[in-house]
Structure formats: structure tokens, C-alpha cells
Structure 1
Amino acid sequence: MAKNVHTLTLLHQQPVLSEWIDYNRHMNVAYYVLIFDQSLDVFLDDIGLTREYRDSSNCTVYVLETHVTYIQEVHEGDLLDIYIRVLDCDEKRMHLFLEMRHHEKGFLAATSEQMIMHLDKTGPSAAPMPGFLQSKLEERKREFASVPFPKQSGAVIGIRRKK
């Protein structure tokens, strides 16, 4: 994965497809989630949590929680860059932050913060990741350890009242 000037690592690129456009003439919210999910698959493969690993270990991951922010609309044909950062991890979980940016214009279109759990499929129940996965996650976490968390991370949803 290539480093970027942002506080995340370039992970994936995806053009906005015509069938993803809604009645407002921009990409429907469901497809933001789809792109983030497909990008997550790229990341998991990159750290070694591949289909082969999942089949041979009888383990997988589930997304426990996700928080998506929609910041600026994108349109048919726009090329999107997806960036990722490991905010935190432990033996069973990974806390990830993804950004979706317009490739040509560079603006932030959306973010996705995710909590992911490693599971033994026989339960399914939470299970520690093998050392090689934990090491990869720790390495990714250290890449940006000195950089503050993105401002959208840890956001709480609610109506902000004026005083």
C-alpha cells in the first residue's frame, strides 16, 4: 500500500458506477457502504486475513459497529480513493478508520469508522488472532501513532441543540 500525504494509507480505488446513482443524481448512500466494505476486503487480504486463512483456520471477522459520515456528494464516473488507518487493535479486535476521497479534486466525500472482531466460526465466538495478524495490525497502527486521530473518529450521533 502506498503512503499518502493524508494521515491514512491508500488502499483502493473505485469509480462511481451509473447504477449507483439515485434520484438526487449522486451516489446513493448504500454504495458508500459497499465501497468501504470492498475496501475492507482488500485490507484484510493485505494483512493476511485471506480466504485461504479463513478456510484453513475456521476463523473469520465480523463488523461489530460502523459509523459512516457523508460529507460531500460524488457523481457517476468519479474516481474515488479509499484510505485506511488502524486506530487501535488488541488480540481479538481492530478499530479501523477509512476515508473516501475524490481522486481528481481531493475532497473528502465520506468516512467509515469500524470495529471488527476476529471469530472462531464454530461458535461463532470471539477468538484471538494468530501472532502474524496481530503483528501486521500493530505495524499498521504504529505508522500513524504520532498523528492525531481523524476529527470524525469517535463521533457521537445526535441532534446538536443551540443554547
Structure 2
Amino acid sequence: MPTLQAADDLNLLPVPFVSQVMPIEPDWIDYNGHLNMAYYNVLFDRAIDELWLHLGIGADYVKRRGGSTFTAECHVRYLRELHLGDPAQVTILLVEADDKRLHTFEELRHATDGWLSATSENMTLHVDMSTRKTAPFPPDIRARIAAVADAHRGVTRPEGIGRSVAMPSKRG
């Protein structure tokens, strides 16, 4: 994982953000012989943690600054199975951000072949841990987030952003 020192230069981050390659662990394979649905979320979460480090809101942010992030909403689409031995990598697009919220869209891909396995669209809230209520990001963090959001604004929006769950005959 990147260190906090790596967070010093947001200009070096790829657009969209690209996680390190992650292996599929043996205990994550279910009785169908593929990655259990819960572990897709583990991969997405590990990738978000990498980006959060660059933004200055990683795991030590709670101790240092008393803030954290909570996921308020998540929509996962499972598009193609991953299996034991498949290398996985996540790209993260910061779709939009404001004083308290981050809207992200993540794509989980086979790291060497490039095919899309799953997507995850999330609304994340900034929380003051002393009150456990939403609160604005500190100004320095907000500036870091704004810089990444600005860089991501020019990226073509992937298929699936804003998609709702509905029976195929009910989609408009």
C-alpha cells in the first residue's frame, strides 16, 4: 500500500485511480467455485483504502484528526466471475464530491486480461467520530479531494453510473 508520504503529490496519481494488483484468496472461493459475492466488496474496499491514503483520510485519520468515512449506499453489479488465481485490480473514478460526501464508481478487472468483473457505485459520508454525525471535511482535505475530483471530471463516464435495480422489462 502507498505510504502517507506518497500522498504529498496528487499530480502523480493515475486518472482514474488504479489500485495495486490483489490476489484472490483461497478462503474467498465459494461452493460454486468462484469468488463469493462478499469478497468483491473486500477488493473494492481495499482499493478505496488506497485512494483514501492519498487523500489524507486513511486508517490513521481517525486517530490524528477525529474524522472518518462511512459508506451510506453501495450498488454492486457482478458481471463476470473471478476464480482462484485470478489477479484483480480496481480503478476508482471520483464522480463528484462536496463538503461531506464522495460519490465514487469502481471497476474491478482481471489485472492481466483487462476484462470487467464487477462495478461498485458508492456514496461515502465524512463523519466526525466524536459525534458520529456527518461533518464537513477539514479545508486541507477538502482541497485534496477537489484536486482529484477536478482531474477525474474529464474522464469519460463508464456505463453503469447511476443505474438502478429493476426487472429488465421495467427499465426505461
TM-score under structure 2 normalisation? 0.86
Q: Residues 70 and 127 of structure 2 are in contact (CA less than 8 Å); yes or no, is this contact kept in structure 1?
A: yes
1:13 aligns with 2:21: yes
Q: Residues 107 and 119 of structure 2 are in contact (CA less than 8 Å); yes or no, is this contact kept in structure 1?
A: yes
Match of 2:72 among 64, 70, 73: 64
Deviating above 6 A after TM superposition, structure 1's stretches of 4 or more consecutive aligned residues are none
1:158 aligns with 2:169: no
Distance 2:81 2:112 in 1: 14
Distance 1:74 1:56, change over 3 A: same
Distance 2:49 2:132 in 1: 20
By percentage of residues, which structure has more helix? 2
TM-score under structure 1 normalisation? 0.91
User: After superposition, what is the alpha-carbon deviation per residue over 1:21-60, rounded to whole angstroms, capped at 9, x for unaligned?
Assistant: 1111111101001111111111111110133322122111
- Stretches of structure 2 that go unaligned for 5 or more consecutive residues are 1-11
| Count of residues paired in the alignment | 160
Aligned-partner residue type, residue 85 of structure 1: L
- Stretches of structure 1 that go unaligned for 5 or more consecutive residues are none
1:43 aligns with 2:51: yes
Q: Which residue of 2 aligns with 1:3?
A: 14
Distance 1:53 1:72, change over 3 A: same
Please tell me the root mean square deviation across aligned C-alpha atoms, in Å.
1.8
Q: Percent identity over the alignment?
A: 31
1:25 aligns with 2:33: yes
Distance 2:103 2:54 in 1: 16
Distance 1:75 1:52 in 2: 33
Q: Which residue of 1 aligns with 2:98?
A: 90
